[in-house]
Amino acid sequence: MKGITILGATGTIGLNTLEVIKQHQDKFKVIALTANRDVDGLSALCLKWLPRYAVMADAQAAEQLEQRLKPAQLPIQVLSGKAGLIKVASLPEIEIVMAAIVGGAGLTSTLAAAEAGKRILLANKEALVMSGQLLLATVFKHDAELLPIDSEHNAVFQCIPPSHFNSAKGYDHSPARIKTPAAFVDSGISRILLTASGGPFRHYSDEQMQTVTPEQACAHPNWKMGPKISVDSATMMNKGLEIIEACWLFSVQPHHVEVLLHPQSVIHSLVEYIDGSVLAQLGNPDMRTPIAHALGWPERISSGVKRLNLAEIGQLHFESVDFKKFPCLQLAYDAMLAGGTTTTILNAANEIAVQAFLQKRLRFTDIPRVIEVTLSHLTGRVVTQLDLILEEDTRAREFATEIVNQYSTTNYH
């Protein structure tokens, strides 16, 4: 039985992970669960799953959780803060860490899991966006494994041949064991196609985009997700971050990664080969599929997902991306090409802008403007130390906050 820590247990990915584990309790044991401030949510999960550790990122919330659990007299140790997250990500009895903390806040615990040589199920794309070189170097150094949970990258992983990866721990391949960039050509691959639903505003006019509300942006047509990632999907920054993530995971250059609009979200991504073959991974839009794939890999385990009925779907639709309507996508390409901590700056500015939009202090159309201004004023650096990466992150957040304040006082109505 494999011990598992779920970082971000009360979020969509965390809850879906528990749904899959529920079907395989003979294979997996929940050792630790974490949340940010959701005391009610984590308390309920603790009472159901009886983990040995429960961690709240917020210290005050941890005190509330401890009081909430005290009447049940359960042998659950409540921890808090960054130290608590790092501890449960690196416990000796843990084999698998689900890294599902949203945003830059998930970086340090993900790195801790890598340093401890764990199998990391990476749902936190910001860890690679902020510090791809550092994270992968840590994975290599400590013989860890890195498996993608994003449906798109998990699909690519399933479509790429074992020859693209170095073997590790007796397995045929793992994205954590990427060869040199030349392996992309050696494997006969010509490009990766990441599919995107286009979000809720695919057919909106420029005028309609000006008045988009947080409620509209969070109403994704296909996926049930948290507010931040829902807004990222609506701006297509989510796909931009996935381009950066794909470059690191599969050791490719940005021009090898393209985006294809596919509103039904049935094909999750495709890999094109030099002989003209295109391999695709299909399935109903349900995160339990990539979660089950990564939990069981290299074996297959059931996920509980409804079987795909192509006859019922009838047709699959595809469109090219309108980069003018979704400028965040180009900003992500440009940041990856610039290299260094430019992607760290991109991510930080985006998080600040999205937060302001959700708080109704910033227009939806001002999100890419805040990011662009931040990128134009701050120059990325080539650094591989975590403290320097976090310094760059802080610097970008402070600058982006100033820009948000300017926009919120002059442009938002």
Question: How many angstroms separate the CA atoms of 232 and 199, rounded?
Answer: 9
| Candidate from 134-148, 153-167, 339-353 with smallest mean pLDDT | 153-167
**105 and 26 together in one domain:** yes
Q: Which residues contact 112 (CB under 8 A, 6 or more apart)?
A: 85, 86, 89, 90
Residue 376 lies in a domain: yes
Residue 100 lies in a domain: yes
pLDDT digits (tens, 9 = 90+) for 7-20: 999 999 999 999 99
Residue 20 neighbours by CB distance under 10 Å: 23
Using 50, 70 and 90 to split pLDDT, how confident is the model at 399? very high
Residue 53 lies in a domain: yes
**270 and 390 together in one domain:** no
The residue from 323, 353, 369 where one domain ends is: 323
Task: Report pLDDT for 206.
Answer: 87
Structural domain of 356: 339-413
Using 50, 70 and 90 to split pLDDT, how confident is the model at 170? very low
Question: How many angstroms separate the CA atoms of 41 and 132, rounded?
Answer: 31
Residue 309 lies in a domain: yes
**179 and 319 together in one domain:** yes
Q: Average pLDDT in the 351-358 region?
A: 96
Is residue 368 over pLDDT 70? yes
Contact indicator for 107, 125 with CB cutoff of 8 Å: no
Tally the domains of the chain. Answer: 3
The residue from 323, 357, 381 where one domain ends is: 323
Residue 381 neighbours by CB distance under 10 Å: 15
**203 and 307 together in one domain:** yes
Q: Is 371 exposed, middle or buried, given 0-12, 13-18 or 19+ CB atoms closer than 10 A?
A: buried
| Token pair belonging to 135 | 């994270």
Biggest CA–CA distance in the chain, Å, is 65
| Candidate from 118-122, 184-188, 369-373 with smallest mean pLDDT | 184-188
Q: Which residue has the tokens 């840590």?
A: 138
**181 and 312 together in one domain:** yes
Task: Report pLDDT for 409.
Answer: 60
**297 and 256 together in one domain:** yes
Task: Report pLDDT for 410.
Answer: 57
Task: Report pLDDT for 411.
Answer: 57
Is residue 387 over pLDDT 80? yes
Q: Which residue has the tokens 């610039």?
A: 338
Residue 373 lies in a domain: yes
Question: How many angstroms separate the CA atoms of 194 and 44, rounded?
Answer: 36
Question: How many angstroms separate the CA atoms of 91 and 290, rounded?
Answer: 24
Using 50, 70 and 90 to split pLDDT, how confident is the model at 125? confident
Q: What is the mean pLDDT of the chain?
A: 90
Is residue 174 over pLDDT 60? no
Nearest to residue 119, comparing CAs of 138, 144, 143? 144
pLDDT digits (tens, 9 = 90+) for 251-284: 888 999 999 999 999 999 999 999 999 999 999 9
Kindly calculate the radius of gyration of the chain based on its CA atoms and give it in whole angstroms: 21
The residue from 288, 323, 358 where one domain ends is: 323
Residue 168 lies in a domain: no
**74 and 187 together in one domain:** no
**311 and 369 together in one domain:** no
Residue 236 lies in a domain: yes
Report DSSP state, residue 262. Answer: -
pLDDT digits (tens, 9 = 90+) for 55-113: 999 999 999 999 999 999 999 999 999 999 999 999 999 999 999 998 778 899 999 99
Using 50, 70 and 90 to split pLDDT, how confident is the model at 2? very high
**278 and 318 together in one domain:** yes
The count of C-alpha atoms lying within 13 angstroms of the C-alpha of 255, restricted to the half-sphere facing its C-beta, is 1
Domain of 35, CATH number, reads 3.40.50.720
Q: Average pLDDT in the 297-302 region?
A: 95
Task: Report pLDDT for 221.
Answer: 67
**108 and 22 together in one domain:** yes
**181 and 302 together in one domain:** yes
**69 and 191 together in one domain:** no
pLDDT digits (tens, 9 = 90+) for 130-153: 999 899 999 999 999 999 999 999
In this structure, the chain runs to a length of 413
Residue 148 lies in a domain: no
Sheet hosting strand 267-273, strand order edge to edge:
257-261, 189-196, 267-273, 278-282
Domain of 403, CATH number, reads 1.10.1740.10
DSSP per residue, 45-59: HHHHH--SEEEESSH
Enclosing H/E stretch for 131: helix 126-141
| Candidate from 28-42, 155-169, 176-190 with smallest mean pLDDT | 176-190
